[in-house]
C-alpha cells in the first residue's frame, strides 16, 4: 500500500496527466486483488451523469454500458455510491435489484460482485467513484476496504490536482494573453509579475520592473490625497477602481482605467495585490470628439445653440455678482437665400465658413460667437464697461463683412442685420435675452438691413402684435374674411376705364377692416401670401368673367404678385389652373411685381417670369422709381408696363426734380416699348402735367378709390350707358 501511494504521488510530481495516473492506479490495484478489474468514473455536475474515466483492463465494448448512467437506485454499485455519497458493497450482482438497470452489462461481463466508493472535492462535493469489479461473488475483506479507501483517496487527489492545474493553466493563459495590462505585487508593494500587455502599454519590459514599486508609473497628476483614498478603499473593501493618469517609459502621460484587488492569505492578512488596467486614450479622444460634435456647429466649428446657451447662463450668473454689462448680439445675413439659389448650397456653406472666420477675427478674445442655425449667428459680449460698447462691436461686425468674399472665382457681397439685447435691462435669463435680440434684429431688417438695432419695449409690443396678427390671419382665409376691392385705371387721353387693380382687404369680425400695410407684410413673412394670393387671383379672374358675361366693357385686370409667389408651383400649376378654370383670357391679366423684387431676381426667377410671357400674361413693374433699376435688367424681362411710384407724383407740378424724374421714366418706358401708368393721381394739375409728358394711363383718387365689386360694377355700367 505504501508503494502504491509513493508511486502515484511521484507520478503527480513528475507532471503526468491525470489519465495516465488513474490508469496506473487501477493496474496497481488489480495486482493486489487478483481476478478483479479496477475503474474510475467521473460525475458531471451539470448533466448529473457518470462517465468512464479510467478502466484500462475492461474490454473496449464494456465501457459503453457504463458511460452516461445517472446516479440512481437501479444503476449498479457506482450509480448508488454517487447517489448516496457512501460506499456500496454489492456481493451478489445477479441477485441484487440495485443492478437491474445494468442487468445486460452484468450478464455479458459475468460480474459477480462490485464494490464502489465515492471520492469528493475540497468542498465535499462528489467528484466520482472508484470501483473494484470481480467475477467472484463475495464481500470485501478489511484489506479490500482499506485498498478501496486508499485508491478512492488517491483518485480524488489526482482529479483535484488536475482541476487545479487546469484552473491555473486557464488563469495563466488569461494573464498572458489578456489585452489589459496586469501586474501583481507582494504585500510590500514590490512587483513580482507582469503580463505582455503591461509592457506594450507602459513601454517597460518585465525585467525592468520586477522588484520595483508601481510608483515608477506615477504621472504626478494625482495628489497625495488621491492615493490615500485609494489605499483606504483597499483596506476597507479589498478593492478600488477608477480613472488614473500614468506615465509611460517614454515620458508620455496617458489615461487608464485601473482596478486593484487585495489578495489575503489564510490568516486574512494582505498577501498580494493584483492590478488590471486599460489604456483609455482612444476612449478619451472619442469622448472629446463626441462632446465637440454635440456642442459645436459641424460646418464652421463654432459653438452651437446648446453650448452658447450654457455659456450665456454662466455669464448671467457672473454678471449678477459683477457690476459690468453683458450684451447679446443676434446676427442674420441679409438675403443669404439668394446666394444659395444663385450659386448653390456648396458655395453658400463656404461663405458661412468665411463669414464665421471674419467675424471671429473682429471680436474681442473673450467674446463668444456661435452659429445657431442657417445664416444666424449669436455673439455673447461680456464685461462691457458701458452699454454703448455693444454698438461699437456691432459696427465692427458690419464693417468686417463690408469687403467682398472671393469664393471659387466668384465675388460675393453679403451684409448683416444685427439685433442687440442688454442684461439686465432687456431680460435676466438666457431665453428672454435671445428672443429680444432676435426681435431687435428684425427691427434692423425693417429699417433697411445692413445695420444694428437695440431692443426696446416698443419693439416687443410690436412683435406681440405681429404674432397676434399672424394667428388671426391663419384663420382668416378659412373664415372667408378677405375680400377684393377694385380701383380703376383710366386712359390718360379719353378718361375711360381700361383696367382695374384688384386690392386685398381684410374684414375682421371684431376689429373691422384692417389696413393692408398692417397685414400684407405678415402674409409675406409667414408664407401665407401664397395661399391668399392664389385666392385673390382666382377670385379676381372669376369676377372679371362674370362682368364679361354681363356685357360690361372687357377691361384689363391687374393683380399684385408677391416675390414669395414667384415659384415653379405658382407659374406652372396654380396660375395655369386658375386661368383654365375661370376662362379668363391670359392677355387681359397683368401681374404687378415691385421694382425691388425684380431687381433682386435670380436666374430661376428670370426663368419663371419668362414663363409668364409664354402663358401670354403681362408683367407690370409696380412702384417704379423707388429703387435702383438698371436698363439691362429691364431689357431682360418680359415687362409690358411701368407704374410710376406715387411719391414721385405727389408734389407735381410744383417740384421740379419730380417733374424731371417723371419725364425720364416716361421716356425710358416708351423707348422700351412699354406702357406707363402713373399712380396716386389726385388733382387735375397732376393729371395735366402727366398727360403732357405722354403718360398713358392714370390711377388715383381723382378717378376713383378702391371699391367693392358691386360698386365697381356700377362704374363700368355707367361707362357703357348712353350719354
Confidence of residue 567 (pLDDT cuts 50, 70, 90): low
C-alpha gyration radius of the chain: 50
Residue 582 has what pLDDT? 87
On whether the CB atoms of residues 335 and 403 are closer than 8 A, the answer is: no
> pLDDT of 388-440, one tens digit each?
788 888 889 999 998 999 998 888 999 999 999 988 888 888 999 999 999 89
CA distance 277 to 170: 20
User: From residue 459, how far is each of 45, 433, 455, 477 by CA, in Å?
Assistant: 83, 13, 6, 28
Arithmetic mean of pLDDT, 557-580 = 77
Arithmetic mean of pLDDT, 546-558 = 92
Angle, CA of 656, 659 and 664, to the nearest 5°: 130
Please tell me the total number of residues recorded for the chain in this structure: 723
Homologous superfamily in CATH for domain 178-284: PAS domain (3.30.450.20)
Residue 471 cell numbers, joined = 394667428
Residue 169 has what pLDDT? 73
CA distance 329 to 369: 9
Q: Given 3-state DSSP classes, what are the helix, strand and coil percentages for the chain, each rounded to the nearest 5?
A: 50, 25, 25
Residue 349 has what pLDDT? 93
**99 pLDDT above the threshold of 90:** yes
**604 pLDDT above the threshold of 60:** no
Residue 706 has what pLDDT? 93
**14 pLDDT above the threshold of 80:** no
Among 109-123, 137-151, 578-592, 622-636, which is the least confidently predicted range?
622-636
Tell me if 178-284 shares its fold with 469-720: no
Among 196-205, 353-362, 493-502, 562-571, which is the least confidently predicted range?
562-571
Among 125-134, 338-347, 372-381, 623-632, which is the least confidently predicted range?
623-632
Provide the CB-side half-sphere exposure for 251 (13 A, CA). 0
Arithmetic mean of pLDDT, 177-199 = 90
- H helix intervals, 401-502: 430-446, 457-476
At 44 the three-state DSSP class reads: strand
Residue 645 has what pLDDT? 87
Arithmetic mean of pLDDT, 207-217 = 93
CA distance 30 to 449: 109
Give 613 or 104, the one with higher predicted confidence.
104
Confidence of residue 629 (pLDDT cuts 50, 70, 90): low
Residue 695 has what pLDDT? 94
Domain boundary assignment for the chain: 2-172, 178-284, 296-455, 469-720
> Residue-wise over 37-69: b if at least 16 C-beta within 10 A, else e?
bbbbbbbeeeeebbebbbbeebeeebeebbeeb
Arithmetic mean of pLDDT, 207-227 = 92
On whether the CB atoms of residues 220 and 198 are closer than 8 A, the answer is: no
**Domain 469-720 adopts which CATH fold?**
TIM Barrel (3.20.20)
Arithmetic mean of pLDDT, 630-656 = 80
At 504 the three-state DSSP class reads: strand
Residue 722 has what pLDDT? 55
Among 543-557, 573-587, 664-678, which is the least confidently predicted range?
573-587
224 burial via Cβ count (<10 Å: 0-12, 13-18, 19+)? exposed
On whether the CB atoms of residues 620 and 641 are closer than 8 A, the answer is: yes
635 burial via Cβ count (<10 Å: 0-12, 13-18, 19+)? exposed
Residue 325 cell numbers, joined = 454689462
Arithmetic mean of pLDDT, 564-570 = 67
- The answer to whether the peptide bond before residue 424 is cis (omega within 30 degrees of 0) is yes
**229 pLDDT above the threshold of 90:** yes
CA distance 635 to 297: 43
Residue 389 has what pLDDT? 81
> pLDDT of 269-315, one tens digit each?
899 999 999 998 888 888 888 888 888 898 999 999 998 998 898 88
Angle, CA of 494, 496 and 500, to the nearest 5°: 135
CA distance 164 to 251: 41
Percent of all residues in the chain with a pLDDT value above 90, rounded to a whole number: 47
Residue 632 has what pLDDT? 61
On whether the CB atoms of residues 209 and 216 are closer than 8 A, the answer is: yes
H/E stretch holding 118? strand 113-120
**723 pLDDT above the threshold of 80:** no
Arithmetic mean of pLDDT, 317-340 = 85
Homologous superfamily in CATH for domain 296-455: Reverse transcriptase/Diguanylate cyclase domain (3.30.70.270)
Question: What is the CATH code of the structural domain delimited by 2-172?
Answer: 3.30.450.40
**628 pLDDT above the threshold of 60:** no
> pLDDT of 354-393, one tens digit each?
999 999 998 888 889 999 989 999 999 988 877 778 888 8
On whether the CB atoms of residues 606 and 566 are closer than 8 A, the answer is: no
Residue 598 has what pLDDT? 58
Arithmetic mean of pLDDT, 329-338 = 92
**595 pLDDT above the threshold of 70:** no
Q: What is the mean pLDDT of the chain?
A: 87
> pLDDT of 308-327, one tens digit each?
998 898 888 887 777 677 88
Residue 448 has what pLDDT? 83
Confidence of residue 687 (pLDDT cuts 50, 70, 90): very high
Confidence of residue 571 (pLDDT cuts 50, 70, 90): low
Among 82-91, 112-121, 452-461, which is the least confidently predicted range?
452-461
> pLDDT of 142-170, one tens digit each?
999 998 998 998 898 888 887 777 777 77
Amino acid at each position: 500500500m505504501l508503494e502504491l501511494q509513493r508511486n502515484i504521488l511521484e507520478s503527480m510530481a513528475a507532471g503526468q496527466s491525470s489519465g495516465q495516473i488513474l490508469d496506473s492506479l487501477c493496474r496497481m490495484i488489480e495486482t493486489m486483488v487478483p481476478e478483479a478489474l479496477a475503474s474510475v468514473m467521473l460525475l458531471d455536475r451539470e448533466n448529473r451523469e457518470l462517465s468512464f474515466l479510467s478502466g484500462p483492463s475492461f474490454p473496449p465494448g464494456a465501457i459503453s454500458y457504463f458511460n452516461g448512467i445517472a446516479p440512481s437506485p437501479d444503476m449498479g454499485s457506482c450509480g448508488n455510491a454517487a447517489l448516496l455519497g457512501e460506499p456500496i458493497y454489492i456481493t451478489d450482482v445477479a441477485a441484487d435489484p440495485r443492478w437491474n438497470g445494468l442487468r445486460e452489462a452484468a450478464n455479458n461481463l459475468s460480474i459477480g460482485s462490485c464494490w464502489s466508493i465515492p471520492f469528493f472535492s475540497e468542498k465535499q462535493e462528489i467528484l466520482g467513484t472508484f470501483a473494484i469489479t470481480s467475477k467472484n461473488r463475495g464481500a470485501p475483506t478489511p484489506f479490500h476496504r482499506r485498498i478501496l479507501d486508499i485508491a478512492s483517496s488517491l483518485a480524488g487527489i489526482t482529479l483535484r490536482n488536475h482541476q487545479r492545474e487546469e484552473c491555473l493553466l486557464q488563469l495563466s493563459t488569461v494573464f498572458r494573453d489578456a489585452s489589459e495590462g496586469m501586474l501583481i505585487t507582494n504585500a510590500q508593494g514590490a512587483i513580482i509579475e507582469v503580463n505582455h500587455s503591461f509592457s506594450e502599454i507602459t513601454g517597460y519590459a518585465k525585467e525592468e520592473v520586477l522588484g520595483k514599486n508601481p510608483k515608477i508609473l506615477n504621472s504626478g497628476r494625482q495628489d497625495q490625497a488621491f492615493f490615500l483614498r485609494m489605499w483606504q478603499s483597499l483596506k476597507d473593501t479589498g478593492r478600488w477602481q477608477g480613472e488614473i493618469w500614468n506615465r509611460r517609459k517614454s515620458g508620455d502621460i496617458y489615461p487608464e482605467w485601473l482596478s486593484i484587488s487585495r489578495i489575503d492569505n489564510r490568516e486574512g492578512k494582505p498577501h498580494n495585490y493584483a492590478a488590471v488596467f486599460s489604456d483609455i486614450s482612444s476612449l478619451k479622444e472619442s469622448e472629446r470628439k463626441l462632446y465637440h460634435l454635440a456642442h459645436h456647429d459641424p460646418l464652421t466649428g463654432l459653438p452651437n445653440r446648446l453650448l452658447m446657451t450654457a455659456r450665456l447662463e454662466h455669464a448671467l450668473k457672473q454678471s449678477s455678482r459683477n457690476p459690468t454689462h453683458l450684451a447679446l448680439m443676434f446676427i442674420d445675413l441679409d438675403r443669404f437665400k439668394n446666394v444659395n439659389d444663385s450659386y448653390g448650397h456648396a458655395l453658400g456653406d463656404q461663405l458661412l465658413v468665411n463669414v464665421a472666420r471674419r467675424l471671429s477675427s473682429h471680436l474681442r478674445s473673450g467674446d463668444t460667437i456661435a452659429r445657431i442655425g442657417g445664416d444666424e449667428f449669436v455673439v455673447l459680449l461680456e464685461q462691457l464697461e458701458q452699454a454703448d460698447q455693444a454698438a461699437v462691436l456691432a459696427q465692427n461686425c458690419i464693417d468686417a463683412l463690408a469687403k467682398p468674399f472671393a469664393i471659387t472665382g466668384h465675388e460675393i457681397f453679403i451684409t448683416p442685420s444685427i439685433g442687440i439685447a442688454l442684461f439686465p435691462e432687456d431680460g435676466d435669463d438666457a431665453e428672454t435675452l435671445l428672443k429680444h435680440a432676435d426681435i431687435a434684429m428684425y427691427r434692423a431688417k425693417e429699417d433697411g438691413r445692413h445695420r444694428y438695432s437695440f431692443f426696446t419695449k416698443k419693439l416687443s409690443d410690436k412683435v406681440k402684435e405681429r404674432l397676434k396678427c399672424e394667428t388671426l390671419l391663419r384663420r382668416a382665409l378659412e373664415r372667408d374674411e378677405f375680400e377684393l376691392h377694385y380701383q380703376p385705371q383710366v386712359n390718360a387721353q379719353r378718361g375711360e376705364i381700361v383696367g382695374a387693380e384688384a386690392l386685398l382687404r381684410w374684414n375682421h369680425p371684431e376689429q373691422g377692416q384692417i389696413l393692408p400695410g398692417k397685414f400684407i407684410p405678415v402674409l409675406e413673412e409667414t408664407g401665407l401670401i401664397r395661399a391668399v394670393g392664389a385666392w385673390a387671383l382666382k377670385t379676381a379672374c372669376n369676377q372679371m368673367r362674370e362682368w364679361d358675361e354681363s356685357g360690361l366693357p372687357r377691361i384689363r385686370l391687374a393683380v399684385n404678385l408677391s416675390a414669395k409667389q414667384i415659384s415653379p408651383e405658382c407659374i406652372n400649376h396654380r396660375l395655369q389652373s386658375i386661368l383654365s378654370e375661370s376662362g379668363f383670357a391670359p392677355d387681359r391679366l397683368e401681374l404687378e411685381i415691385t421694382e425691388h423684387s425684380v431687381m433682386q431676381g435670380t436666374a430661376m426667377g428670370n426663368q419663371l417670369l419668362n414663363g409668364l410671357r409664354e402663358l401670354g400674361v403681362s408683367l407690370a413693374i409696380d412702384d417704379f422709381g423707388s429703387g435702383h433699376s438698371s436698363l439691362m435688367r429691364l431689357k431682360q424681362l418680359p415687362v409690358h408696363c411701368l407704374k410710376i411710384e406715387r411719391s414721385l407724383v405727389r408734389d407735381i407740378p410744383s417740384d421740379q426734380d419730380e417733374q424731371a424724374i417723371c419725364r425720364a421714366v416716361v421716356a425710358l418706358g416708351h423707348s422700351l416699348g412699354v406702357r406707363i401708368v402713373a399712380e396716386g393721381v389726385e388733382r387735375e394739375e397732376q393729371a395735366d402735367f402727366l398727360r403732357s409728358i405722354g403718360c398713358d394711363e392714370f390711377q388715383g383718387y381723382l378717378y376713383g378709390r378702391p371699391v367693392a365689386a358691386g360698386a365697381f360694377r356700377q362704374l363700368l355700367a355707367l361707362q357703357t350707358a348712353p350719354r
